[in-house]
Amino acid sequence: MRSKRPTTIKEIARKLKISASTVSRALNDHPSIGLVTTMRVKKMAEELNYEPNQTAIFFKQRKTFTIGVILPDLSEPFFSAAISAIEGYAEEKKYTVLLGQSQDDPKREAKIVHTFKKHRVDGILISLGKNTADLDFLKPLKGSGIPLVFFDCVPETSEVDKVYCDLSTGMEQAIEAFVSRGHKNIALINGPDTLLATAERTAFFKATLAKYSCVFNARYVVHTDLSEQGNIQAMEQLCMLAERPSAVVSFNDFVTLDVIKYARQKGIGVGQEMHFISFANYPLWKYMESPPLGSIEQYPGEQGEKAAEILFKLLEKPEEEPWVPQQVVLKSKLILK
């Protein structure tokens, strides 16, 4: 049995013996249509279960009222907070958010961009995966007139719109907290070499150590690919040193969870023999009896909201109006536990 065809504007017009254009204007509350006619049209539309043809509306307005968001992993509290803020902002603008998770896979990231372009999203927000080095996969968006705003993990170039957190302030506060408690042998468990944030953290780490008259020891800087095994291997490198560090700044809270677990398994007193501060400031620490000394807040919600704000400014501005790439930088902050 074939399903009933959707009710059309022409059918409503035929029932009421008025023109289809009058029905269309009445349904959109056009001021040229009287109140009585508008009420009759809407009543008939309700009786016939009329639903607007969104495809036709989108075609006419040249908009789909959707934006795409690409991020590495929604399971991370950081990105959960960011997407919540983005969706809240988009909802105020009466837009729907389409979500894609790259899982730090550049091929998957490129596929999501292609899919969003194919479905004609009006704009895209993206936090790059840790393995993404080549941005050529984003070039087709420019030719299609789809604006793009980066947030959190962003490219180095100043020719794009981006929102990110200045990690130097949090790093300085972390080193200061360690030094004020008598620590001199301070280590850094850093992220993958491919990340811009990794190089930045190393530079901030060295500069801050010098500021507080601490000697930089290259052996105290180790790297992880952010997997559990990679985190453990990085911690093993530090624990095998003849002079083990007494304080560690780590890439994020998940890295810290793994290395604290490893330290305890090896009989190292966490909070006595070795102290930790990490980036991200996830809410998980409040559930632990022995949290690290502190965690550095990177304001994911604010980053997401600011990125969405820039994107909608791009969507709402006239095509002929010039645009200077926007760069919003938030200050990171150490939160002691």
CATH for 166-297, options being 3.40.50.300, 1.20.120.80, 1.10.10.60, 3.40.50.2300: 3.40.50.2300
Residue intervals in the chain for CATH 3.40.50.2300: 64-164+300-329, 166-297
pLDDT tens digit sequence for 234-257: 999 999 999 999 999 999 999 999
Res 27: pLDDT: 84
E strands along the chain, which residues?
66-71, 96-101, 123-126, 148-151, 161-166, 186-190, 221-223, 247-250, 275-280, 294-297, 327-331, 333-336
Higher-pLDDT residue of 174 and 27 is 174
CATH topology for 64-164+300-329 is Rossmann fold (3.40.50)
Res 227: pLDDT: 93
Res 3: pLDDT: 47
pLDDT tens digit sequence for 77-100: 999 999 999 999 999 999 999 999
Of 301, 285, 247, 284, the residue nearest 82 (C-alpha): 301
Residue 20, pLDDT above cutoff 90: no
How many CB atoms are closer than 10 A to CB 81? 19
Res 301: pLDDT: 97
pLDDT tens digit sequence for 174-231: 999 999 999 999 999 999 887 778 888 999 999 999 999 999 999 999 999 999 999 9
Residue 142, pLDDT above cutoff 60: yes
Bridge-based pairing state of the strands 294-297 and 333-336: antiparallel
Residue 59, pLDDT above cutoff 80: no
Res 284: pLDDT: 85
Res 61: pLDDT: 58
Give the residue-averaged pLDDT of 9-19: 89
Sheet containing 123-126, strands listed edge to edge, beginning at the edge strand earlier in sequence: 96-101, 66-71, 123-126, 148-151, 161-166, 327-331
Helix (H, G, I), strand (E, B) or coil at 162: strand
CA torsion, ordered 174, 179, 183, 186, to nearest 10 deg: 40
Res 319: pLDDT: 83
